[in-house]
A and B are shown apart, each in its own frame.
Chain A
Amino acid sequence: MIYYLILSVLLAGSAFAATTRRAVNAAGALFYAVQAAFAVWILTGGRFGSASGGFFTYDALGTVFFVLLAVVSLFVFIHSEVYFRDEDIRLYRRYFSLLMLLTTAIAGVYFADNIAVTWIFLEATTLCSAGIIYHRRTAQALEATWKYVFVCSTGIATAYLGILLLCSAADGSLAYSSLAERVASGNPLYMKTAVLLVLCGYSCKMEIFPLYTIGVDANFAAPAPASALISTGLVNAGFIAIFRVYKVMASSEAFEWMRHVLILVGLLSLAIGAMFLRRTNNYKRFLSYSTVENMGIVAIGLGIGGIGVWAALFHVICHTFVKSSLMLQVAVMRHIFNGYRINRIGDYISINRVGAIGFIVGTVVLLAFPPSPLFVSELMILKQIIADGQWWIMAVVLLLLCIVIYSICSRIMRLCYQPNLDEVHDPKCEHWLSWSAMALLAAAMVLGVWQPELLRDVIDQIVTL
């Protein structure tokens, strides 16, 4: 793992030092070759399930999400290359080196087997993301960057206090496995305080209540292709950080309490998502609120327990494909229109038919209509809620999902069919970009109708770990 990190950082550094676009792209190609080789090495080199360097582990959770990260990051790189075709070389190389560093830092979070190492890599993702968000160097980008760095740092510092509490209650252990063994005998009130601090702090990365706002602002200000990585890979990093604490707490007396908190956080996130999906006038913020809503569903799944945990994991995996696809479609849309304003952009179906179909199909999948894989996960979560007899949660979730469905449908219909009031730059944009974004959507739809035995086994393994 250490060699992987060093090699990835060196390649990002070489992209930063490059003087031509070709050299940056070559560094990028090498970087993704390293990611692919690393994934293959873990899966076929007998490293799967083993530890590395005392601080990392190639477990099922980290490996599955790393493969997803590598795929999404590669798509983001390719789309960014077209997106920044006319960009100044200094900004171009800085953006791509930060993209590679962000991918590396996220991978560090995925594989970390030590609660302090997870925290360190999460903090590193803040640094890399801040550079990407500030890419445009406008007043808006600066404001979003400032808010992102400030709120993330405050949140992460709060989470760190929680981590220290957890460690001190578990005789100074920092590794997840020994933490899990020792928290069982810990003071429940102490554990509850620690969990609350960690959950509150990491919510800024997972884009759930209470610190969800900065994720939305970050996606708004960052270049559209990078938003695809921020709203999937980085959100997944926050999810994994919380999920590992969730597994640690499973043997503690405070676990039941943590599950109740997760349900509350999930419902509030879902409510905020539903409310702001109707209010916002910007397609990127709109998709970001959809991330808040989906992560709310995931939190409810974790909180409800049983098959809800399996469903939550499956939901996160499929959401990665769907959301990255839609964010990349937004990047294609940005080539054509001046901005992302919902009340001005329209008639997309006749301007870019492929892109519009990508949006419509993406919407159907995002709204969890069959054959969407999100239908499978949401149905499983609802089944578990019914099995537990939590009817009030069921009622609130269904009501909020109805609002979400109405909001998303109305917005996407406006994009495709309302008269366009915005300036159109290049109606003959490169359709292959829309097609490539749809490839990610197709992958999600395949998972909707057929979940490979291997994936089922891996998720089972993660849930039972």
Chain B
Amino acid sequence: MILSFVILFVVTLVYLSITERYRNYAVIVSLQGWILLAIALLRLHSVNWAELAFVLAETLLFKALIVPQILFAVIRRTKINRVIGSGSSQFRSLVMSLAALAASASITYYIADQSIDMIFFGVALYALLSGLILIVSRQRIFSHMVGFLVIENGVFLFSTAIGVEMPILINMAIMLDILMSILMLGVFLTRIDHTIHADDADSLTKVKD
């Protein structure tokens, strides 16, 4: 069961590399939130109310509901609908994404450690690389934010796979990370568009040597 959700998560990452519409980005981020909720619930070590509350807040409340809603609000407000430049970039992104998938699978295969859930590690690494590819290859700030959210989701996925001595501490750290992403989305929504009128990372070039 968990494996099917993990595969679905990988599919969302591949789809993210070929889609060009920002509404799809927001939908995928929301879908990833729901997948992470399912995985986290299935992997709960025991019925601990504090842990359950953290998991529900992190995945359902923030990742599946609030963050996608803010993304939709950003799309409505800034009226940006798709990545700059279509056509060839789709194919290039897909190739880069598949190369990242191959690299993640290879590293996972070579490590082959019994003490670690290697599938989760491989997928988390793929999410990290996918997020970085999105940040580096796309021009608009919105894509960069989605890239960061994807990295966060990968980190969260891996955190559900490891058994640590103090899971509450790990949950607190994840919560702080989510808070940072909401802060970033808030800054984008309320400040950047007002002050700089930028939907493009190229406009952010005043701070340089």
Contact = CB atoms under 8 A, between A and B. Distances in A.
Interface in B165-202: 165-166, 169-170, 172-173, 176-177, 180-181, 183-184, 187-188, 191-192, 195-196
Contacts of B152: 157
Interface residues on A, range: 35 or more
Interface stretch (A230-238, A278-286, A323-331, A393-401): A278-286
B2 interface: no
Contacts, number: 131
Given A142-B195, A149-B183, A168 B116 contact: yes
B49 interface: no
Interface stretch (A15-23, A123-131, A295-303, A424-432): A123-131
Contacts of A413: none
B162 A168 contact: yes
Contacts of A142: 187, 191-192, 195-196
Given A142-B195, A161-B158, A123 B207 contact: no
A120 B121 CA distance: 22
A154 B151 contact: yes
Interface string A6-33: 0000000000000000000000000000
A190 B111 contact: yes
A147 B207 contact: yes
Given A161-B128, A172-B162, A153 B206 contact: no
B173 A160 contact: yes
B101 interface: no
Given A123-B180, A160-B155, A172-B164, A220 B173 contact: no
Given A140-B207, A157-B177, A174-B169, A150 B148 contact: yes
B21 to A, nearest CB: 22
Interface in A146-181: 146-147, 149-150, 153-154, 156-158, 160-161, 164-165, 167-169, 171-174
Contact of A139 (B141, B163, B169, B206): B206
Contacts of A281: 209
A67 B195 CA distance: 40
Q: Interface majority SS on A: helix, strand, loop or mixed?
A: helix
Contacts of A217: 207
Given A120-B172, A161-B155, A153 B187 contact: no
Given A149-B184, A165-B121, A157 B151 contact: yes
Interface string A103-143: 00000000000101101100110110010000000011011
A139 B195 contact: yes
Contact of A154 (B111, B148, B170): B148
A164 B115 CA distance: 13
Interface string B139-171: 001001101100110110011011111100110
A161 B154 contact: yes
Contact of A153 (B165, B180, B195): B180
A38 interface: no
A123 B177 contact: yes
Nearest to B194: A142
A265 interface: no
Max count, chain A CB within 10 A of own CB: residue among B132, B183, B188: B183
B135 interface: yes
Nearest to A126: B180
Interface in A252-289: 276, 279-282, 285
A221 interface: yes
Nearest to B141: A146
A144 interface: yes
A338 interface: no
Given A157-B155, A161-B154, A171 B115 contact: yes
Contacts of A251: none
15 contacts: A116-B166, A123-B180, A146-B141, A146-B187, A149-B184, A150-B148, A157-B177, A161-B155, A164-B158, A165-B121, A169-B113, A173-B165, A189-B110, A190-B113, A217-B207
Given A116-B169, A123-B180, A139-B195, 11 more contacts: A119-B173, A120-B172, A120-B173, A127-B180, A139-B196, A139-B206, A146-B188, A154-B148, A154-B151, A160-B155, A281-B209
